[in-house]
Chains A and B, each alone.
Chain A
Protein backbone atom coordinates (compact mmCIF):
# COMPACT_ATOMS: atom_id res chain seq x y z
CA UNK A 1 0.00 0.00 0.00
CA UNK A 2 1.57 3.30 -1.11
CA UNK A 3 1.78 6.41 1.05
CA UNK A 4 -0.71 8.22 -1.24
CA UNK A 5 -3.17 5.35 -0.97
CA UNK A 6 -2.85 5.25 2.82
CA UNK A 7 -3.56 8.99 2.90
CA UNK A 8 -6.54 8.45 0.59
CA UNK A 9 -8.02 5.75 2.86
CA UNK A 10 -7.34 7.99 5.87
CA UNK A 11 -9.19 10.87 4.18
CA UNK A 12 -12.20 8.57 3.62
CA UNK A 13 -12.28 7.73 7.35
CA UNK A 14 -11.91 11.42 8.29
CA UNK A 15 -14.88 12.17 5.99
CA UNK A 16 -16.91 9.50 7.79
CA UNK A 17 -16.11 11.06 11.15
CA UNK A 18 -16.87 14.56 9.83
CA UNK A 19 -20.23 13.40 8.41
CA UNK A 20 -21.13 11.91 11.80
CA UNK A 21 -20.11 14.99 13.80
CA UNK A 22 -21.74 17.54 11.44
CA UNK A 23 -24.86 15.39 11.17
CA UNK A 24 -25.29 15.05 14.92
CA UNK A 25 -24.69 18.75 15.57
CA UNK A 26 -27.09 19.64 12.71
CA UNK A 27 -29.80 17.40 14.23
CA UNK A 28 -29.56 19.27 17.55
CA UNK A 29 -29.46 22.68 15.85
CA UNK A 30 -32.56 21.64 13.88
CA UNK A 31 -34.36 20.99 17.16
CA UNK A 32 -32.85 23.87 19.15
CA UNK A 33 -32.01 26.66 16.66
CA UNK A 34 -30.40 28.81 19.41
CA UNK A 35 -27.48 26.34 19.34
CA UNK A 36 -26.71 27.41 15.78
CA UNK A 37 -25.50 30.90 16.63
CA UNK A 38 -21.94 30.12 15.50
CA UNK A 39 -22.49 27.29 13.06
CA UNK A 40 -25.98 27.72 11.57
CA UNK A 41 -28.03 24.89 10.13
CA UNK A 42 -27.75 26.12 6.52
CA UNK A 43 -23.97 25.75 6.84
CA UNK A 44 -24.02 22.46 8.78
CA UNK A 45 -26.32 20.62 6.40
CA UNK A 46 -24.11 20.93 3.30
CA UNK A 47 -21.06 20.07 5.43
CA UNK A 48 -22.79 16.91 6.66
CA UNK A 49 -24.13 15.92 3.25
CA UNK A 50 -20.88 16.56 1.38
CA UNK A 51 -18.81 14.74 4.02
CA UNK A 52 -21.16 11.75 3.76
CA UNK A 53 -20.98 11.81 -0.06
CA UNK A 54 -17.18 12.06 -0.08
CA UNK A 55 -16.93 9.23 2.50
CA UNK A 56 -19.00 6.98 0.28
CA UNK A 57 -17.33 7.85 -3.03
CA UNK A 58 -13.79 7.93 -1.59
CA UNK A 59 -14.41 4.64 0.23
CA UNK A 60 -15.95 3.04 -2.86
CA UNK A 61 -13.10 4.06 -5.16
CA UNK A 62 -10.53 2.97 -2.55
CA UNK A 63 -12.10 -0.50 -2.67
CA UNK A 64 -12.07 -0.62 -6.47
CA UNK A 65 -8.47 0.62 -6.71
CA UNK A 66 -7.19 -1.77 -4.03
CA UNK A 67 -8.94 -4.95 -5.14
CA UNK A 68 -8.51 -4.44 -8.88
CA UNK A 69 -4.75 -4.66 -8.27
CA UNK A 70 -5.26 -8.28 -7.28
CA UNK A 71 -7.90 -9.06 -9.93
CA UNK A 72 -6.00 -7.49 -12.84
CA UNK A 73 -2.57 -8.51 -11.55
CA UNK A 74 -1.14 -4.99 -11.44
CA UNK A 75 2.47 -4.90 -10.26
CA UNK A 76 2.45 -1.26 -9.08
CA UNK A 77 0.18 1.68 -8.59
CA UNK A 78 -0.46 3.50 -11.92
CA UNK A 79 0.63 7.14 -12.05
CA UNK A 80 -2.83 8.29 -13.24
CA UNK A 81 -4.41 6.66 -10.22
CA UNK A 82 -2.04 8.51 -7.91
CA UNK A 83 -2.83 11.77 -9.72
CA UNK A 84 -6.55 11.06 -9.25
CA UNK A 85 -6.15 10.56 -5.51
CA UNK A 86 -4.15 13.79 -5.03
CA UNK A 87 -6.60 15.88 -7.09
CA UNK A 88 -9.64 14.30 -5.41
CA UNK A 89 -8.35 14.92 -1.89
CA UNK A 90 -7.36 18.52 -2.72
CA UNK A 91 -10.83 19.23 -4.17
CA UNK A 92 -12.56 17.64 -1.19
CA UNK A 93 -10.60 19.90 1.13
CA UNK A 94 -11.44 22.96 -1.03
CA UNK A 95 -15.15 22.18 -0.80
CA UNK A 96 -15.03 22.52 2.99
CA UNK A 97 -12.97 25.70 2.80
CA UNK A 98 -15.74 27.20 0.62
CA UNK A 99 -18.40 26.05 3.09
CA UNK A 100 -16.53 27.62 6.01
CA UNK A 101 -16.63 30.96 4.15
CA UNK A 102 -20.33 30.38 3.34
CA UNK A 103 -19.75 30.18 -0.38
CA UNK A 104 -22.48 27.99 -1.85
CA UNK A 105 -23.88 27.65 -5.32
CA UNK A 106 -24.52 24.12 -6.54
CA UNK A 107 -27.52 21.85 -6.50
CA UNK A 108 -28.80 19.69 -3.64
CA UNK A 109 -26.11 17.32 -2.27
CA UNK A 110 -23.41 19.24 -4.21
CA UNK A 111 -23.90 22.66 -2.69
CA UNK A 112 -20.41 24.07 -3.36
CA UNK A 113 -19.72 26.59 -6.15
CA UNK A 114 -20.08 24.76 -9.47
CA UNK A 115 -16.53 25.63 -10.56
CA UNK A 116 -15.27 22.93 -8.19
CA UNK A 117 -17.01 20.43 -10.44
CA UNK A 118 -14.14 20.89 -12.93
CA UNK A 119 -11.38 19.30 -10.78
CA UNK A 120 -13.84 16.57 -9.70
CA UNK A 121 -14.51 15.76 -13.35
CA UNK A 122 -10.81 15.85 -14.25
CA UNK A 123 -9.94 13.59 -11.32
CA UNK A 124 -12.62 11.10 -12.31
CA UNK A 125 -11.34 10.99 -15.89
CA UNK A 126 -7.85 10.18 -14.59
CA UNK A 127 -9.22 7.32 -12.50
CA UNK A 128 -11.33 6.03 -15.36
CA UNK A 129 -8.49 6.02 -17.89
CA UNK A 130 -6.23 4.27 -15.41
CA UNK A 131 -8.94 1.68 -14.65
CA UNK A 132 -9.92 1.03 -18.26
CA UNK A 133 -6.29 0.54 -19.26
CA UNK A 134 -6.05 -2.34 -16.79
CA UNK A 135 -9.53 -3.59 -17.73
CA UNK A 136 -8.78 -3.99 -21.45
CA UNK A 137 -5.51 -5.81 -20.65
CA UNK A 138 -7.22 -8.49 -18.55
CA UNK A 139 -6.77 -12.03 -19.85
CA UNK A 140 -9.70 -13.92 -18.26
CA UNK A 141 -13.48 -13.30 -18.65
CA UNK A 142 -14.57 -10.70 -16.11
CA UNK A 143 -16.53 -11.92 -13.09
CA UNK A 144 -19.63 -9.96 -12.09
CA UNK A 145 -17.86 -7.73 -9.56
CA UNK A 146 -15.53 -6.41 -12.29
CA UNK A 147 -18.55 -5.57 -14.46
CA UNK A 148 -20.10 -3.80 -11.48
CA UNK A 149 -16.98 -1.73 -10.83
CA UNK A 150 -16.74 -0.81 -14.51
CA UNK A 151 -20.37 0.23 -14.91
CA UNK A 152 -20.23 2.10 -11.59
CA UNK A 153 -17.22 4.15 -12.71
CA UNK A 154 -18.73 4.88 -16.14
CA UNK A 155 -22.18 5.78 -14.83
CA UNK A 156 -20.73 8.08 -12.19
CA UNK A 157 -19.00 10.03 -14.97
CA UNK A 158 -22.20 10.19 -17.03
CA UNK A 159 -24.45 11.21 -14.13
CA UNK A 160 -21.96 13.79 -12.86
CA UNK A 161 -21.91 15.46 -16.28
CA UNK A 162 -25.71 15.20 -16.52
CA UNK A 163 -26.08 16.76 -13.09
CA UNK A 164 -24.18 19.80 -14.32
CA UNK A 165 -26.25 20.23 -17.47
CA UNK A 166 -28.08 23.02 -15.63
CA UNK A 167 -25.14 25.24 -16.63
CA UNK A 168 -26.58 25.10 -20.16
CA UNK A 169 -29.44 27.65 -20.61
CA UNK A 170 -31.57 25.16 -22.62
CA UNK A 171 -31.88 23.10 -19.42
CA UNK A 172 -31.76 25.87 -16.80
CA UNK A 173 -34.34 28.14 -18.42
CA UNK A 174 -37.20 25.65 -17.96
CA UNK A 175 -37.82 24.75 -14.33
CA UNK A 176 -39.56 21.40 -14.80
CA UNK A 177 -36.96 20.27 -17.34
CA UNK A 178 -34.12 21.28 -15.04
CA UNK A 179 -35.72 19.58 -12.02
CA UNK A 180 -36.42 16.41 -13.99
CA UNK A 181 -32.85 16.15 -15.30
CA UNK A 182 -31.45 16.98 -11.85
CA UNK A 183 -33.32 14.08 -10.22
CA UNK A 184 -32.68 11.76 -13.16
CA UNK A 185 -28.97 12.23 -12.55
CA UNK A 186 -29.19 12.20 -8.73
CA UNK A 187 -31.17 8.96 -8.74
CA UNK A 188 -28.86 7.22 -11.22
CA UNK A 189 -25.73 8.50 -9.45
CA UNK A 190 -26.73 6.66 -6.27
CA UNK A 191 -27.06 3.57 -8.45
CA UNK A 192 -23.57 4.23 -9.86
CA UNK A 193 -21.78 4.23 -6.52
CA UNK A 194 -23.92 1.30 -5.38
CA UNK A 195 -22.54 -0.66 -8.36
CA UNK A 196 -18.99 0.00 -7.12
CA UNK A 197 -19.84 -0.77 -3.48
CA UNK A 198 -21.93 -3.89 -4.15
CA UNK A 199 -19.20 -5.07 -6.55
CA UNK A 200 -16.71 -4.85 -3.68
CA UNK A 201 -19.15 -6.67 -1.37
CA UNK A 202 -19.41 -9.48 -3.93
CA UNK A 203 -15.61 -9.61 -4.29
CA UNK A 204 -15.27 -9.93 -0.51
CA UNK A 205 -17.89 -12.70 -0.33
CA UNK A 206 -16.00 -14.61 -3.04
CA UNK A 207 -12.81 -14.17 -1.06
CA UNK A 208 -14.31 -15.21 2.29
CA UNK A 209 -16.20 -18.22 0.93
CA UNK A 210 -13.58 -19.20 -1.66
CA UNK A 211 -16.43 -19.83 -4.10
CA UNK A 212 -15.83 -17.95 -7.37
CA UNK A 213 -19.14 -19.38 -8.66
CA UNK A 214 -21.18 -16.75 -6.78
CA UNK A 215 -19.78 -14.07 -9.12
CA UNK A 216 -20.34 -16.02 -12.32
CA UNK A 217 -23.29 -17.77 -13.92
CA UNK A 218 -26.59 -16.85 -15.48
CA UNK A 219 -28.64 -16.09 -12.36
CA UNK A 220 -26.24 -13.53 -10.87
CA UNK A 221 -26.06 -11.69 -14.19
CA UNK A 222 -29.86 -11.66 -14.56
CA UNK A 223 -30.09 -9.97 -11.15
CA UNK A 224 -27.37 -7.53 -12.15
CA UNK A 225 -29.28 -6.56 -15.29
CA UNK A 226 -32.37 -6.02 -13.17
CA UNK A 227 -30.36 -3.75 -10.85
CA UNK A 228 -28.91 -1.90 -13.81
CA UNK A 229 -32.40 -1.31 -15.25
CA UNK A 230 -33.40 0.19 -11.92
CA UNK A 231 -30.38 2.49 -12.02
CA UNK A 232 -31.34 3.67 -15.50
CA UNK A 233 -35.12 3.99 -15.29
CA UNK A 234 -36.50 4.05 -11.75
CA UNK A 235 -35.33 7.56 -10.70
CA UNK A 236 -38.80 9.00 -11.49
CA UNK A 237 -40.06 8.10 -8.00
CA UNK A 238 -38.14 11.13 -6.69
CA UNK A 239 -40.41 13.44 -8.67
CA UNK A 240 -43.80 11.68 -8.75
CA UNK A 241 -45.54 14.88 -7.59
CA UNK A 242 -43.81 17.12 -10.15
CA UNK A 243 -46.10 17.79 -13.15
CA UNK A 244 -43.78 16.17 -15.71
CA UNK A 245 -44.98 14.02 -18.60
CA UNK A 246 -47.05 11.12 -17.22
CA UNK A 247 -44.90 8.39 -18.84
CA UNK A 248 -41.96 9.29 -16.56
CA UNK A 249 -44.11 8.31 -13.56
CA UNK A 250 -45.44 5.13 -15.18
CA UNK A 251 -41.99 3.89 -16.29
CA UNK A 252 -40.50 4.56 -12.82
CA UNK A 253 -43.43 2.86 -11.07
CA UNK A 254 -43.28 -0.20 -13.32
CA UNK A 255 -39.50 -0.63 -13.07
CA UNK A 256 -39.49 -0.04 -9.29
CA UNK A 257 -42.01 -2.84 -8.80
CA UNK A 258 -39.51 -5.28 -10.33
CA UNK A 259 -37.58 -4.83 -7.07
CA UNK A 260 -40.07 -7.20 -5.41
CA UNK A 261 -38.04 -9.93 -7.14
CA UNK A 262 -34.96 -8.85 -5.13
CA UNK A 263 -36.97 -8.92 -1.92
CA UNK A 264 -38.36 -12.39 -2.62
CA UNK A 265 -34.85 -13.59 -3.48
CA UNK A 266 -33.52 -12.27 -0.13
CA UNK A 267 -36.30 -14.08 1.76
CA UNK A 268 -35.65 -17.31 -0.18
CA UNK A 269 -31.93 -17.15 0.59
CA UNK A 270 -32.47 -16.56 4.31
CA UNK A 271 -31.82 -20.15 5.43
CA UNK A 272 -28.52 -20.48 3.55
CA UNK A 273 -27.46 -17.11 4.99
CA UNK A 274 -27.98 -18.54 8.50
CA UNK A 275 -25.66 -21.48 7.73
CA UNK A 276 -23.12 -19.12 6.19
CA UNK A 277 -23.34 -16.87 9.25
CA UNK A 278 -22.53 -19.73 11.62
CA UNK A 279 -19.43 -20.50 9.54
CA UNK A 280 -17.95 -17.00 9.22
CA UNK A 281 -19.29 -14.98 12.17
CA UNK A 282 -15.83 -14.85 13.81
CA UNK A 283 -14.64 -12.55 10.96
CA UNK A 284 -15.25 -8.79 11.43
CA UNK A 285 -15.26 -8.29 7.66
CA UNK A 286 -18.11 -10.79 7.36
CA UNK A 287 -20.03 -9.28 10.27
CA UNK A 288 -20.05 -5.86 8.59
CA UNK A 289 -21.19 -7.47 5.33
CA UNK A 290 -24.04 -9.36 6.97
CA UNK A 291 -25.18 -6.16 8.75
CA UNK A 292 -25.51 -4.51 5.34
CA UNK A 293 -27.70 -7.39 4.13
CA UNK A 294 -30.17 -6.86 6.97
CA UNK A 295 -30.37 -3.18 6.02
CA UNK A 296 -30.83 -4.02 2.35
CA UNK A 297 -33.90 -6.00 3.35
CA UNK A 298 -35.38 -3.24 5.54
CA UNK A 299 -34.64 -0.44 3.09
CA UNK A 300 -35.80 -2.34 0.05
CA UNK A 301 -39.15 -2.92 1.72
CA UNK A 302 -39.43 0.77 2.57
CA UNK A 303 -38.33 1.79 -0.95
CA UNK A 304 -40.95 -0.49 -2.52
CA UNK A 305 -43.71 1.13 -0.50
CA UNK A 306 -42.42 4.63 -1.31
CA UNK A 307 -42.32 3.75 -5.01
CA UNK A 308 -46.10 3.35 -5.17
CA UNK A 309 -47.30 6.84 -6.12
CA UNK A 310 -50.46 6.54 -4.01
CA UNK A 311 -48.29 5.93 -0.91
CA UNK A 312 -45.60 8.35 -2.05
CA UNK A 313 -48.26 11.07 -1.92
CA UNK A 314 -48.00 10.87 1.90
CA UNK A 315 -44.28 10.06 2.27
CA UNK A 316 -42.75 12.49 -0.25
CA UNK A 317 -40.97 15.46 1.33
CA UNK A 318 -41.24 13.90 4.80
CA UNK A 319 -38.65 12.34 7.10
CA UNK A 320 -39.47 8.91 5.64
CA UNK A 321 -37.33 9.98 2.69
CA UNK A 322 -34.56 10.83 5.17
CA UNK A 323 -35.01 7.42 6.84
CA UNK A 324 -34.53 5.75 3.47
CA UNK A 325 -31.44 7.86 2.70
CA UNK A 326 -29.91 7.19 6.14
CA UNK A 327 -30.72 3.47 6.01
CA UNK A 328 -28.98 3.27 2.63
CA UNK A 329 -25.95 5.41 3.35
CA UNK A 330 -25.27 4.17 6.90
CA UNK A 331 -26.91 0.75 7.04
CA UNK A 332 -25.86 -0.48 3.62
CA UNK A 333 -23.08 1.62 2.10
CA UNK A 334 -21.14 2.35 5.29
CA UNK A 335 -21.35 -1.25 6.51
CA UNK A 336 -20.00 -2.59 3.17
CA UNK A 337 -17.28 0.07 3.08
CA UNK A 338 -16.25 -0.81 6.65
CA UNK A 339 -16.12 -4.47 5.61
CA UNK A 340 -13.97 -3.49 2.63
CA UNK A 341 -11.61 -1.40 4.78
CA UNK A 342 -11.56 -4.13 7.43
CA UNK A 343 -10.20 -6.56 4.86
CA UNK A 344 -7.85 -3.96 3.36
CA UNK A 345 -6.40 -2.93 6.74
CA UNK A 346 -6.28 -6.54 8.00
CA UNK A 347 -8.48 -5.69 10.98
CA UNK A 348 -9.10 -9.39 11.67
CA UNK A 349 -5.39 -9.69 12.53
CA UNK A 350 -5.50 -6.90 15.15
CA UNK A 351 -5.09 -7.67 18.89
CA UNK A 352 -8.23 -9.08 20.55
CA UNK A 353 -8.89 -5.90 22.61
CA UNK A 354 -9.04 -3.72 19.51
CA UNK A 355 -11.29 -6.18 17.72
CA UNK A 356 -13.59 -6.22 20.74
CA UNK A 357 -13.84 -2.42 20.62
CA UNK A 358 -14.68 -2.51 16.92
CA UNK A 359 -17.31 -5.19 17.57
CA UNK A 360 -18.89 -3.12 20.37
CA UNK A 361 -18.84 -0.02 18.15
CA UNK A 362 -20.58 -1.92 15.37
CA UNK A 363 -23.27 -3.24 17.72
CA UNK A 364 -23.91 0.19 19.25
CA UNK A 365 -24.09 1.82 15.80
CA UNK A 366 -26.52 -0.77 14.44
CA UNK A 367 -28.82 -0.68 17.48
CA UNK A 368 -28.83 3.15 17.48
CA UNK A 369 -29.41 3.21 13.73
CA UNK A 370 -32.52 1.07 14.12
CA UNK A 371 -33.99 3.51 16.70
CA UNK A 372 -32.88 6.46 14.53
CA UNK A 373 -34.52 4.93 11.43
CA UNK A 374 -37.78 4.10 13.21
CA UNK A 375 -37.94 7.63 14.73
CA UNK A 376 -37.54 9.15 11.26
CA UNK A 377 -40.30 6.94 9.87
CA UNK A 378 -42.53 7.91 12.80
CA UNK A 379 -41.78 11.63 12.25
CA UNK A 380 -42.43 11.25 8.51
CA UNK A 381 -45.75 9.49 9.05
CA UNK A 382 -46.85 12.22 11.41
CA UNK A 383 -45.80 14.98 9.00
CA UNK A 384 -47.40 13.25 6.01
CA UNK A 385 -50.67 12.79 7.89
CA UNK A 386 -50.83 16.39 9.14
CA UNK A 387 -49.72 17.87 5.82
CA UNK A 388 -51.58 15.77 3.25
CA UNK A 389 -54.47 14.12 5.10
CA UNK A 390 -55.32 17.02 7.43
CA UNK A 391 -54.13 19.68 4.95
CA UNK A 392 -52.52 21.85 7.63
CA UNK A 393 -51.06 25.03 6.16
CA UNK A 394 -49.33 26.54 9.20
CA UNK A 395 -45.86 24.97 9.08
CA UNK A 396 -44.95 25.59 12.74
CA UNK A 397 -48.22 24.10 13.93
CA UNK A 398 -47.84 21.12 11.59
CA UNK A 399 -44.30 20.43 12.83
CA UNK A 400 -44.88 20.75 16.59
CA UNK A 401 -45.51 17.04 17.39
CA UNK A 402 -43.03 15.99 14.68
CA UNK A 403 -40.23 17.83 16.51
CA UNK A 404 -40.95 15.81 19.66
CA UNK A 405 -40.44 12.54 17.74
CA UNK A 406 -37.28 13.99 16.20
CA UNK A 407 -35.75 14.32 19.67
CA UNK A 408 -35.57 10.50 19.77
CA UNK A 409 -33.85 10.62 16.36
CA UNK A 410 -31.26 13.18 17.56
CA UNK A 411 -30.36 11.19 20.68
CA UNK A 412 -30.16 7.95 18.69
CA UNK A 413 -27.81 9.86 16.37
CA UNK A 414 -25.43 10.24 19.32
CA UNK A 415 -25.32 6.43 19.52
CA UNK A 416 -24.54 6.15 15.79
CA UNK A 417 -21.81 8.79 16.22
CA UNK A 418 -20.26 6.98 19.19
CA UNK A 419 -20.48 3.52 17.62
CA UNK A 420 -19.13 4.36 14.18
CA UNK A 421 -16.67 6.83 15.73
CA UNK A 422 -15.08 3.99 17.74
CA UNK A 423 -14.87 1.84 14.60
CA UNK A 424 -13.37 4.65 12.47
CA UNK A 425 -10.87 5.58 15.20
CA UNK A 426 -9.62 1.99 15.49
CA UNK A 427 -9.42 1.69 11.69
CA UNK A 428 -7.27 4.84 11.60
CA UNK A 429 -5.01 3.20 14.20
CA UNK A 430 -4.79 0.06 12.06
CA UNK A 431 -4.00 2.17 8.98
CA UNK A 432 -1.19 3.96 10.81
CA UNK A 433 0.41 0.67 11.85
CA UNK A 434 0.09 -0.94 8.41
CA UNK A 435 3.46 -1.77 6.75
CA UNK A 436 5.33 -0.79 9.95
Chain B
Protein backbone atom coordinates (compact mmCIF):
# COMPACT_ATOMS: atom_id res chain seq x y z
CA UNK B 1 0.00 0.00 0.00
CA UNK B 2 2.76 2.39 0.96
CA UNK B 3 4.59 1.60 -2.30
CA UNK B 4 1.50 2.45 -4.41
CA UNK B 5 1.18 5.72 -2.52
CA UNK B 6 4.89 6.47 -3.02
CA UNK B 7 4.61 5.81 -6.79
CA UNK B 8 1.58 8.10 -7.03
CA UNK B 9 3.40 10.87 -5.17
CA UNK B 10 6.50 10.59 -7.39
CA UNK B 11 4.29 10.71 -10.50
CA UNK B 12 2.47 13.74 -9.13
CA UNK B 13 5.71 15.58 -8.34
CA UNK B 14 7.09 14.81 -11.83
CA UNK B 15 3.84 15.86 -13.49
CA UNK B 16 3.78 19.12 -11.51
CA UNK B 17 7.30 20.03 -12.68
CA UNK B 18 6.37 19.20 -16.30
CA UNK B 19 3.23 21.34 -16.05
CA UNK B 20 5.14 24.31 -14.60
CA UNK B 21 7.86 24.15 -17.24
CA UNK B 22 6.14 22.96 -20.43
CA UNK B 23 2.38 22.90 -19.75
CA UNK B 24 1.65 26.41 -20.98
CA UNK B 25 2.37 25.55 -24.61
CA UNK B 26 4.10 27.90 -27.00
CA UNK B 27 1.70 30.84 -27.31
CA UNK B 28 2.68 32.63 -24.11
CA UNK B 29 4.34 36.02 -24.24
CA UNK B 30 6.19 37.62 -21.33
CA UNK B 31 4.31 40.46 -19.58
CA UNK B 32 5.72 43.99 -19.77
CA UNK B 33 5.41 46.64 -17.05
CA UNK B 34 2.02 47.97 -18.26
CA UNK B 35 0.58 44.45 -18.35
CA UNK B 36 1.86 43.74 -14.83
CA UNK B 37 0.06 46.81 -13.48
CA UNK B 38 -3.00 45.84 -15.53
CA UNK B 39 -3.06 42.43 -13.81
CA UNK B 40 -3.05 44.16 -10.41
CA UNK B 41 -5.91 46.48 -11.44
CA UNK B 42 -7.92 43.50 -12.75
CA UNK B 43 -7.54 41.85 -9.34
CA UNK B 44 -8.12 44.93 -7.18
CA UNK B 45 -11.21 45.99 -9.13
CA UNK B 46 -12.35 42.36 -8.82
CA UNK B 47 -13.32 42.20 -12.51
CA UNK B 48 -13.32 38.37 -12.31
CA UNK B 49 -16.45 38.53 -10.13
CA UNK B 50 -18.54 39.38 -13.19
CA UNK B 51 -16.35 38.60 -16.21
CA UNK B 52 -14.66 35.49 -17.52
CA UNK B 53 -11.35 34.90 -19.26
CA UNK B 54 -11.34 31.60 -21.16
CA UNK B 55 -14.74 30.84 -19.59
CA UNK B 56 -13.34 31.07 -16.04
CA UNK B 57 -14.77 33.69 -13.69
CA UNK B 58 -18.17 35.30 -13.09
CA UNK B 59 -21.42 35.17 -15.07
CA UNK B 60 -22.79 38.70 -14.83
CA UNK B 61 -20.98 40.15 -17.86
CA UNK B 62 -19.45 38.85 -21.09
CA UNK B 63 -16.26 36.82 -21.45
CA UNK B 64 -13.40 39.25 -22.14
CA UNK B 65 -10.74 36.89 -23.54
CA UNK B 66 -10.96 38.36 -27.04
CA UNK B 67 -12.63 41.69 -26.30
CA UNK B 68 -9.66 43.74 -27.55
CA UNK B 69 -9.66 42.13 -30.99
CA UNK B 70 -13.46 42.26 -31.24
CA UNK B 71 -14.28 45.78 -29.94
CA UNK B 72 -12.56 49.08 -30.56
CA UNK B 73 -10.47 50.51 -27.74
CA UNK B 74 -12.56 53.70 -27.35
CA UNK B 75 -15.64 51.60 -26.67
CA UNK B 76 -13.80 49.51 -24.07
CA UNK B 77 -12.49 52.70 -22.39
CA UNK B 78 -16.04 54.13 -22.21
CA UNK B 79 -17.42 50.92 -20.71
CA UNK B 80 -14.72 50.85 -18.03
CA UNK B 81 -15.02 54.54 -17.11
CA UNK B 82 -18.80 55.03 -17.18
CA UNK B 83 -20.18 51.50 -16.83
CA UNK B 84 -23.53 50.35 -18.25
CA UNK B 85 -26.85 49.18 -16.78
CA UNK B 86 -25.26 46.18 -15.06
CA UNK B 87 -21.62 47.23 -14.99
CA UNK B 88 -20.43 49.75 -12.40
CA UNK B 89 -18.32 52.79 -13.38
CA UNK B 90 -14.66 52.43 -12.40
CA UNK B 91 -12.80 55.43 -11.00
CA UNK B 92 -9.55 54.76 -12.86
CA UNK B 93 -7.14 57.26 -14.43
CA UNK B 94 -6.43 57.26 -18.19
CA UNK B 95 -3.10 55.54 -17.55
CA UNK B 96 -4.71 52.85 -15.41
CA UNK B 97 -7.36 52.20 -18.08
CA UNK B 98 -4.55 51.85 -20.66
CA UNK B 99 -2.79 49.36 -18.38
CA UNK B 100 -5.98 47.36 -17.91
CA UNK B 101 -6.48 47.28 -21.69
CA UNK B 102 -2.81 46.26 -22.12
CA UNK B 103 -3.53 43.30 -19.83
CA UNK B 104 -6.63 42.33 -21.83
CA UNK B 105 -4.72 42.66 -25.13
CA UNK B 106 -1.98 40.42 -23.71
CA UNK B 107 -4.59 37.76 -22.79
CA UNK B 108 -6.22 38.16 -26.22
CA UNK B 109 -2.97 37.31 -28.01
CA UNK B 110 -2.74 33.90 -26.27
CA UNK B 111 -5.70 32.39 -28.19
CA UNK B 112 -9.47 32.30 -28.65
CA UNK B 113 -11.94 31.43 -25.92
CA UNK B 114 -14.05 28.99 -27.95
CA UNK B 115 -12.83 25.84 -29.62
CA UNK B 116 -13.40 25.63 -33.36
CA UNK B 117 -15.57 22.59 -34.24
CA UNK B 118 -12.76 21.09 -36.31
CA UNK B 119 -10.55 20.90 -33.19
CA UNK B 120 -12.75 18.13 -31.76
CA UNK B 121 -11.19 14.72 -32.34
CA UNK B 122 -13.35 11.58 -32.76
CA UNK B 123 -12.14 10.37 -29.34
CA UNK B 124 -13.87 13.39 -27.79
CA UNK B 125 -10.71 15.33 -27.00
CA UNK B 126 -9.35 18.50 -28.65
CA UNK B 127 -6.40 18.71 -30.97
CA UNK B 128 -5.19 22.28 -31.31
CA UNK B 129 -3.06 23.39 -34.21
CA UNK B 130 -0.38 26.00 -33.70
CA UNK B 131 -1.55 29.49 -34.72
Residues of A at under 8 Å CB distance from B?
Answer: 30, 33, 40-43, 45-46, 104-108, 111, 162, 171-177, 179-181, 183-184, 221, 225, 228-229, 232-233, 238-246, 248-251, 253, 308-311, 313, 316-317, 319, 322, 387-388, 393, 395
Bound complex: CA A43 to CA B49 (Å): 8
* Chain A residue contacts of B46, Cβ below 8 A: 42-43, 46, 104, 111
7 closest residue pairs by CB, A with B? A317-B55, A177-B24, A395-B62, A243-B111, A176-B24, A104-B46, A174-B28
* Chain A residue contacts of B22, Cβ below 8 A: 245
Bound complex: CA A174 to CA B24 (Å): 8
Bound complex: CA A184 to CA B18 (Å): 12
* Chain A residue contacts of B23, Cβ below 8 A: 177, 180, 244-245, 248
Any A CB within 8 A of the CB of B60: yes
B51 to chain A, nearest CB (A): 10
* Chain B residue contacts of A317, Cβ below 8 A: 52, 54-56, 63, 113
A181 (CB) vs chain B CBs: closest residue:
B20
Bound complex: CA A22 to CA B111 (Å): 35
* Chain B residue contacts of A179, Cβ below 8 A: 53-54, 56
Q: Identify A41's interface contact among B40, B49, B115, CB under 8 A.
A: B49
B52 (CB) vs chain A CBs: closest residue:
A317
Any A CB within 8 A of the CB of B8: yes
Beyond contacts A251-B15, A309-B126, A310-B125: 11 other A-B pairs, Cβ-Cβ < 8 A, are: A41-B50, A42-B50, A111-B48, A174-B28, A175-B106, A184-B16, A240-B115, A243-B128, A246-B127, A249-B126, A322-B59
Residues of B at under 8 Å CB distance from A?
Answer: 1, 4-5, 8, 11-12, 15-16, 19-20, 22-25, 27-31, 36, 39-40, 43-46, 48-50, 52-63, 70, 85-86, 88, 106-107, 110-111, 113-115, 120, 124-128
B57 to chain A, nearest CB (A): 6
A24 to chain B, nearest CB (A): 16
* Chain A residue contacts of B56, Cβ below 8 A: 108, 179, 183, 238-239, 317
Q: Dominant SS at the A interface? A: helix
Bound complex: CA A232 to CA B16 (Å): 9
8 contacts between A and B (CB under 8 A): A43-B46, A111-B49, A175-B29, A176-B25, A242-B111, A243-B27, A244-B24, A393-B70
Q: Given A105-B43, A177-B20, A225-B4, answer yes or no on A33-B125 (Cβ-Cβ < 8 Å).
A: no
Q: Identify A239's interface contact among B40, B54, B127, CB under 8 A.
A: B54
Q: Given A33-B85, A232-B11, A248-B23, answer yes or no on A309-B107 (Cβ-Cβ < 8 Å).
A: no
Bound complex: CA A177 to CA B16 (Å): 12
Number of A-B contacts (CB under 8 A): 151
Bound complex: CA A11 to CA B54 (Å): 35
* Chain A residue contacts of B114, Cβ below 8 A: 241, 313, 387-388
Contact A221 B60 (CB under 8 A): no
B127 (CB) vs chain A CBs: closest residue:
A246
* Chain A residue contacts of B60, Cβ below 8 A: 30, 41-42
Q: Given A108-B57, A245-B22, answer yes or no on A176-B39 (Cβ-Cβ < 8 Å).
A: no
* Chain B residue contacts of A310, Cβ below 8 A: 120, 124-125
Contact B54 A108 (CB under 8 A): no
Contact B126 A240 (CB under 8 A): yes
Contact B120 A175 (CB under 8 A): no
Q: Identify A248's interface contact among B19, B27, B50, B62, CB under 8 A.
A: B19
